[in-house]
Chain A
């Protein structure tokens, strides 16, 4: 009657593994046994001294009941050196339930008990056999690296990556310059349609947002200036404040930052998704130079349109400032223009506009460069786009600082 379960392979002691610290996230646990038929185990201890203890498993041994079964099996203590496991009352058994049962049988074996299975249906035996055949513990977490080592590793990698990126970016700049020279030599090589299209995209379409932001900054500047200068009775100098700050710095810097967020990122995303889709490789095999087809029109478009955008931002900034000066300080437009002529030289305006093409080239080059760095996955497009915007804004501000030093050295 008792079939001794000899098929059952006993593995070496279960590998005990240390876990990497870090609290595991716990879900809602909605698969709880509410809707599930229950599962149970029962230990029938011997009535007489010589009979074998019987472990009865019954009900639905499925994963929804695994928590409860796991807890009860952990508490289980079977006396003696023989045990009968009765599965006759088992209604359902899935791999999780079979695993729990198998694990218990394995434990009995390591406790040197004789185990007999009784009343197991064929399909339940098959399920037990299935989990027994797949008892191969594995590591769950990635190999643990000590924190200090990990920090050092990251710093080191980041440093090397920055160096490499700087080198590659300079090489890229060189390659684009060479391509540009070639196109200057033979202007028919230039993609005029693409150039005009990009100018519309990055220049004309950016007018509303750039204008609005410049206008609002003009308003804010005039208001804040007015509050301070009124105390000194020097209201009229608010015009100087607005004029110099908008024309020299804020107009161009703001425009460059907006354009970096708007167009630099677009360049990366456009070129990046083409790269991910192997379109750039296809282009090369068709004898087209991606620098010439994709990069040059974008760089030129931005270099040509950013000065115009900056000029537009200057005008709107002055307009906003003038309006606020009129409202808050009662400086009429005529007075404003009069004061403006005395306050600013042509140089104040030119210094702002001169910087524009340099910023434009920087933003466009960074955007295109990051786009061409995209590899395969869609994830990489996202990473590169973010990076392009951050790098472009950072580099624009660094370059602006360098310009300040330069202009103050030559004394304008």
Chain B
């Protein structure tokens, strides 16, 4: 998207000194994270380290106990309700399994944010819904189907279409390929990559999928010990010597994923 940015150095998301407490447990302590405009950031970490909580905190579903969350250069805590809502239209969130409204068809689901935030004529909304459904690679016939009639992979695509309805600048994805078969997962990775490039999206992606990390992400952030332990490219991850990071990126699964990646070009050469 050709967004004219007056401050290109400014990160699109900046989390500083974040502290989150849930049910008496401190999930994050002094967590810092920056996401740059136009990049795909992969967030990894052990189960229960608070990756989903971090995502939910940034999009405002969880109130932080301390620290600041800035998105688009605005401190989320100090915004008035109207300004918050305006900000919320500039990002889209894809929840696990799509979180589609089960009583609406796929196309009606895509129209929900349009209806809520804009006053468009019905015909234009239908056109935009059809456009988004096609963009996420769903056949036109799925528009009038209910979520329960779709497969898991299709529901995720439909959820992505809804997340993209308002042409957001940032897309948040929570484990988008979890629960998909390897073919579906690879196709979904490819879709996210393609859309990210063509629409100039910033993507914040929580994932455990080493293939996704390797093929889709510009940078990786490792969440451990209640903080973002390090951020960097795959190369930097591989060179790092923190025990968990080593285990994660040098384990048998990681080796297989990376081997497949590096073997590809050589085979062609």
Task: Tell me the A residues contacting B by CB distance below 8 Å.
Answer: 17, 19, 24-32, 35, 62-64, 66-67, 70, 91-96, 99, 103, 121, 123-124, 126-127, 130-131, 134-143, 379
Contact = CB atoms under 8 A, between A and B. Distances in A.
Contact of A103 (B122, B127, B141): B127
A263 to B, nearest CB: 28
Closest 4 pairs between A and B when the two form their complex, measured CB to CB: A138-B143, A27-B116, A139-B144, A134-B134
15 contacts: A17-B126, A27-B119, A95-B128, A95-B131, A95-B132, A99-B127, A121-B2, A134-B134, A136-B134, A138-B107, A138-B129, A138-B134, A138-B143, A140-B111, A140-B143
Nearest to B140: A138
Contact of A139 (B2, B107, B135, B146): B107
Interface in B147-202: 164, 166-167, 198-200
Contacts of B102: 379
B117 interface: yes
A93 B2 contact: yes
Nearest to A99: B131
B128 A96 contact: yes
Contacts of A25: 115
Contacts of A96: 128, 167
A66 B141 contact: no
A99 B127 CA distance: 8
Nearest to B169: A94
A70 B118 contact: no
Given A138-B133, A142-B105, A62 B167 contact: yes
A79 B131 CA distance: 29
B3 interface: yes
B167 A136 contact: no
A48 B111 CA distance: 45
Given A64-B118, A95-B135, A137 B3 contact: no
A29 B135 CA distance: 25
Interface residues of B, number: 45
A29 B133 CA distance: 23
Contacts of B131: 95, 99, 131, 134-135
B193 to A, nearest CB: 14
Contact of B122 (A24, A62, A124): A24
Nearest to A121: B2
Nearest to A94: B167
Contacts of A27: 115-119
Contact of B115 (A26, A95, A123, A379): A26
A73 to B, nearest CB: 10
Contact of A138 (B86, B141, B146): B141
Given A95-B135, A127-B2, 18 more contacts: A19-B122, A24-B122, A26-B115, A28-B117, A31-B86, A63-B128, A63-B166, A67-B118, A93-B1, A94-B167, A96-B167, A137-B130, A138-B134, A138-B143, A140-B108, A140-B111, A140-B143, A142-B144
Contact of A130 (B127, B133, B135): B135
Contacts of B4: 91-92
A150 B200 CA distance: 46
B82 interface: yes
A142 B146 contact: yes
B212 interface: no
Nearest to A64: B118
A158 B199 CA distance: 48
B269 interface: no
A92 B2 contact: yes
Given A99-B127, A142-B105, A379-B102, A26 B144 contact: no
Contacts of A141: 105, 107-108, 144
Nearest to A139: B144
Contacts of B127: 99, 103, 137
Contacts of B89: 31
A66 B120 CA distance: 7
Contacts of B132: 95
Given A27-B115, A134-B134, A138-B142, A67 B107 contact: no
Given A35-B86, A62-B167, A92-B4, A139 B143 contact: yes
B36 to A, nearest CB: 18
A140 B129 contact: yes
B124 interface: yes
Contacts of A24: 115, 122
B117 A31 contact: yes
A158 B125 CA distance: 36
B120 A70 contact: yes
B17 to A, nearest CB: 29
B265 interface: no
B85 interface: yes
Contacts of B252: none
A95 B199 contact: yes
B105 A135 contact: no
Nearest to A379: B102
Contacts of A137: 126-127, 130, 140
A140 B132 CA distance: 12
B3 A92 contact: yes
Contacts of B142: 138
Nearest to B134: A134
A32 B89 CA distance: 11
Contacts of B86: 30-31, 35
B121 interface: yes
A143 B82 CA distance: 37
Nearest to A25: B115
A66 B9 CA distance: 30
Contact of A31 (B118, B124, B144, B146): B118
A28 B140 contact: no
B128 A140 contact: no
A244 B199 CA distance: 77
Given A17-B126, A31-B86, A143 B144 contact: yes
A326 B154 CA distance: 71
B89 to A, nearest CB: 5
Nearest to B133: A138
B140 A136 contact: yes
